[in-house]
Structure 1
């Protein structure tokens, strides 16, 4: 199943994906927010175990469940929908964290397709910031970028590197390539 109108933003943490997706949402475009941060907030509030620093497999599996729901919730059409991460991100995360990659996850990554063009945000040390949910250091952000590049390439996507410029410039770059 392919969602030609579904455009994924991927890359390492702290590279500006969420800022750009927020700008697109404020311009009227439908967006699907990143599930990882929401899951972390919910788990921390409820004393849960699905946290990347407690149980990486449970965290990944919770993100997969949400990613599948998000994928199914988007209807096909001409209007672009922007995803802050996609299913192949979970393959990249698994490999980055040296977790086993379930066969079902590999199958979802290949069979549940977004638009062929995926926007990848490169590491950008000048804007990188950690916080309560983002506990990775900059070196991990770089490694995550490399893992996402490998995961999306292996899943057969064309990666478009989003330039390091202001949010408006990044939005223009993306919209000109839809």
Structure 2
């Protein structure tokens, strides 16, 4: 079964939702960009997203992590972002997306590597800065819109996960997955 993508603006609460889903027994695939940024910063590169090859490094890690998720083909797997998010990041930063990224997005949609339904985790009304997350709340709203448009352009259906308590957000995702799986069985 292809996995479900969770996406949204930085600081929206995706990681907390994923931790909850993981503790509930679902396999999760970690976000790649944050880990690439953290490693580069540890290596003394304070703004790696401004360096050549950044998007390619993120894409490479995303691909490897997605392939490892294939081992859970019989389970519902949740992915913290996808290559479509990397395209949205390129657009937000004003970077030309690498050809490999565009090819990967085309391949992932044609091969249906992910479910067509994407959970779009909405902002919580604030953003807490971290070493890897240097974005204001106002910028995050612009980035949120770019994410939304980029996923729609790629042909995905978005299910809003509105701001709220963590248990309510996780329950909404679980209920939506059950409805989607039940609808698949009926067809």
Q: Please, what TM-score do these two structures have when normalized by structure 1?
A: 0.89
| Counterpart residue number, 1:23 | 20
- Higher Rg: 2
| Counterpart residue number, 1:143 | 142
Q: Choose from 67, 74, 80 the match for 1:78.
A: 74
Q: CA deviation at 1:39?
A: 1.5
SS of equivalent residue, structure 2 residue 53 = helix
Kindly tell me the number of residue pairs found equivalent between the two proteins: 172
Paired with 1:9 and 1:170, the residues of 2 have a C-alpha distance of: 12
Q: Please, what TM-score do these two structures have when normalized by structure 2?
A: 0.85
Paired with 1:78 and 1:5, the residues of 2 have a C-alpha distance of: 9
SS of equivalent residue, structure 1 residue 74 = helix
What are structure 2's unaligned runs of at least 5 residues? 178-187
Q: Choose from 5, 16, 19 the match for 2:2.
A: 5
Contact 2:55–2:98 under 8 Å retained in 1: no
Contact 1:50–1:59 under 8 Å retained in 2: no
* Bigger shift: residues 40-49 or 19-28: 40-49
Written as runs of structure 1 = structure 2, the 5 A alignment for 1:19-168 is 19-48=16-45, 51-52=48-49, 54-55=50-51, 57-75=52-70, 77-112=73-108, 113-126=113-126, 128-168=127-167
Name the Cα RMSD after superposition: 1.7
What are structure 1's unaligned runs of at least 5 residues? none
